[in-house]
Chain A
Amino acid sequence: KAGVTQTPRYLIKTRGQQVTLSCSPISGHRSVSWYQQTPGQGLQFLFEYFSETQRNKGNFPGRFSGRQFSNSRSEMNVSTLELGDSALYLCASSLLFLGGANVLTFGAGSRLTVL
């Protein structure tokens, strides 16, 4: 079955612009999580969605937002881009079930460069 698909894979923006990243989870996976990865901070949790509801949010400013659609596809948006937003943005989906472990399947990531 198809894996987690993230688009676009690479993009370059300038400061002040906004960006939207898309993630299609594995079919049947209803939970989608987003992470930001930078050399200095490592993997930082952004947010997690389940059945179109944001259930958990990391410590990021309000410029970072996301949503999930009824087909479980998810998007994240970063507005008013700053140089420090340059990072690899990773989306992961999981098949959560009660009492089960949250094993994540990651996409290849979207590499954002802010100039």
Chain B
Amino acid sequence: SQQGEEDPQALSIQEGENATMNCSYKTSINNLQWYRQNSGRGLVHLILIRSNEREKHSGRLRVTLDTSKKSSSLLITASRAADTASYFCATDSPGGQGAQKLVFGQGTRLTINP
């Protein structure tokens, strides 16, 4: 079952614009991660935000987390053609000796038009 639901499913913007993707989840979490997948390839970890953090930055990426609303957003600023990919949120639920699985959302397909 999917823990995260992403919105929108697809997003198409012009190069240089900002892209915002949202993720909602259902149960309490230890942390939330964002991954990128280029077509037909493996996923690449982008950024992790812990449940006690509200915002985190990494280069052109900005992630926010609202645990009261069980939601997160990923902002990519000044988008480039190379940012074209699918973006997934993944949640890591509490319990056990470290987390044993990440549950991924359905993803947002981002297209950057030159």
A interface residues, Cβ below 8 angstroms from B: 4, 31, 33, 35, 42-43, 45, 48, 50, 55-56, 58-59, 88, 90, 92, 96-109, 111
Binds A, one of B17-25, B36-44, B72-80: B36-44
Among B42, B48, B97, B107, point to the contact of A42 (Cβ < 8 A): B107
Check if B2 is an interface residue, CB within 8 A of chain A. Answer: yes
Pairs A-B, 9 closest by C-beta atoms: A106-B42, A102-B99, A43-B104, A56-B100, A96-B98, A42-B106, A106-B43, A108-B42, A45-B101
Contact flag A109-B98 (CB < 8 Å), given A42-B104, A101-B33, A101-B92 = no
Q: Report yes or no: B42 in contact with A101, Cβ–Cβ below 8 A.
A: no
Closest residue on chain A to residue B50 by CB atoms: A101
Chain B contact residue count (CB 8 A cutoff): 28
Contacts A/B (CB < 8 Å), 10 sampled: A42-B2, A42-B105, A42-B106, A92-B42, A101-B99, A102-B92, A102-B102, A103-B45, A103-B48, A109-B42
Cα–Cα, bound, A107→B44 (Å): 9
Mark each residue of chain B from 27 to 63: 1 if its CB lies under 8 Å from any CB of chain A, else 0.
Answer: 0001101010000111111001010000000000000
Cα–Cα, bound, A50→B96 (Å): 13
Cα–Cα, bound, A42→B103 (Å): 11
A-B contact count (CB 8 A): 71
Among B45, B90, B98, point to the contact of A99 (Cβ < 8 A): B98
- Which of chain B's residues have a CB closer than 8 A to the CB of A59? 1
Q: Shortest CB–CB separation between residue B61 and chain A, in angstroms?
A: 15
Q: Report yes or no: B107 in contact with A104, Cβ–Cβ below 8 A.
A: no
Check if B87 is an interface residue, CB within 8 A of chain A. Answer: no
Mark each residue of chain B from 1 to 17: 1 if its CB lies under 8 Å from any CB of chain A, else 0.
Answer: 11000000000000000
Closest residue on chain A to residue B98 by CB atoms: A96
Residue from B31, B41, B88, B102 whose CB has the most chain A CB atoms within 10 Å:
B102
